[in-house]
Chains A and B, each alone.
Chain A
């Protein structure tokens, strides 16, 4: 292996990246994916910028642990970089990247279950995703009592979500928070579409029932 050549292109991206990023950000997603597939770092960075927020939120929701969610995000994006050349349908990227993250999280959850350590903790989840976000930015209520009730109900939703079985929670979150289609969720979860439909219906039923206690 000749290492002597590596310095020749050390300055490759320096001085161009800022410019390249602005240009890349304006392209349609399938084109950015194509360029990242070619090994274009600016394009790959743009994909990171677009997906890191949603994927991280998904992982926090599924794992209820920021550290593990961050690890899952890093593992996912590195896997994306390595596996990109095998992706043949560029427009399918959205479902594909969600699939990598979802399977990663489900595998962490299965490992936890095998070790029978703490399952997703409802209090952790409420703290991670719950009222903190509600109190800061406006809930739209000017009446403090209504605002409090609203905050309380959102906390309830987060707790009920955390109490769902993992597969139900994952299907529900992918559908309702990330707006994936049933076939995309089926692919991400490695389940038949009919099963996904059932899990989501069951999750909805459990959540609606659970929310009665918070009214």
Chain B
């Protein structure tokens, strides 16, 4: 075959073999019909292209080439364990003399609850959710950044909290183009306030809704 002896990918006729390959699924063009080098290359590559496509399609649905389901379990267990090391927010009102707030809730739990509350509103897709402890709101300000993602700062050693935490929540959302944003925002605010309070027992002071995108339904 023409290309076997060549170190470059150019055929004797000057056409690049890449080009022949890119066009392999289409009918031959005028040059390819006439040119013996291209005809040869097309016939050699055509067989390879067909086999490659078959192999690709078959292994995509081959149950034997799916990983053991236990692996997903192990991965999720690690992810869950690492989330738990995320920041903890003081939850309980400790007694006045007590130096340490014993009951805490993870930021992750607060943002998961806020996300669910946002998702429950028709036509809303919540992309990001950030939870910020209000300094001096319920407990002393806590140093460190306030990201709630994995790998966030560790648990502060202690909280000298005097009251339950108050947080601000920021939701970045996409809203259906069919809906009015002020109405959706109102519904989201009341939903998030209520559900975060019900589910994790933390008060939400302010909810920022950042409409980043609009989508078709």
Contact = CB atoms under 8 A, between A and B. Distances in A.
A210 B200 CA distance: 63
A52 to B, nearest CB: 5
B67 A157 contact: no
Contact of B54 (A56, A154, A204): A154
B91 interface: yes
Contact of B67 (A45, A52, A201): A52
Interface stretch (A12-20, A113-121, A183-191): A12-20
B91 A5 contact: yes
B125 interface: yes
A16 B215 CA distance: 25
Contacts of B102: 2, 4-5
Interface stretch (B25-33, B136-144, B147-155, B175-183): B147-155
Given A84-B149, A215-B47, A41 B80 contact: yes
Contacts of A212: 1, 44
Interface size class of A (residues with CB under 8 A): 35 or more
Nearest to B126: A35
Contacts of B62: 133, 136-137
A52 B71 CA distance: 9
Nearest to A83: B151
A40 B115 contact: yes
Interface string B83-96: 11010100100000
B116 A16 contact: yes
A13 B149 CA distance: 16
B175 to A, nearest CB: 13
A78 interface: yes
Contacts of A38: 111, 115, 128-130, 148-149
Contact of A177 (B56, B61, B76): B56
A60 B65 contact: yes
A58 to B, nearest CB: 10
Contacts of A201: 9, 17-18
A204 B47 CA distance: 12
Contacts of A204: 17, 21, 45, 48
B12 interface: no
B52 A176 contact: yes
A70 interface: yes
B74 A74 contact: yes
B58 A209 contact: no
A27, A35, A158 interface centre (most CB from chain B within 10 Å): A35
Given A49-B72, A153-B51, A207-B48, 11 more contacts: A9-B105, A34-B127, A38-B111, A40-B111, A56-B67, A81-B75, A129-B65, A137-B62, A157-B48, A205-B17, A211-B47
28 contacts: A5-B91, A5-B103, A5-B106, A8-B91, A8-B109, A9-B109, A9-B200, A34-B128, A41-B79, A45-B76, A48-B75, A53-B67, A60-B65, A73-B67, A77-B75, A81-B75, A85-B150, A157-B55, A177-B52, A201-B18, A204-B21, A204-B45, A204-B48, A205-B4, A208-B3, A208-B45, A209-B1, A209-B4
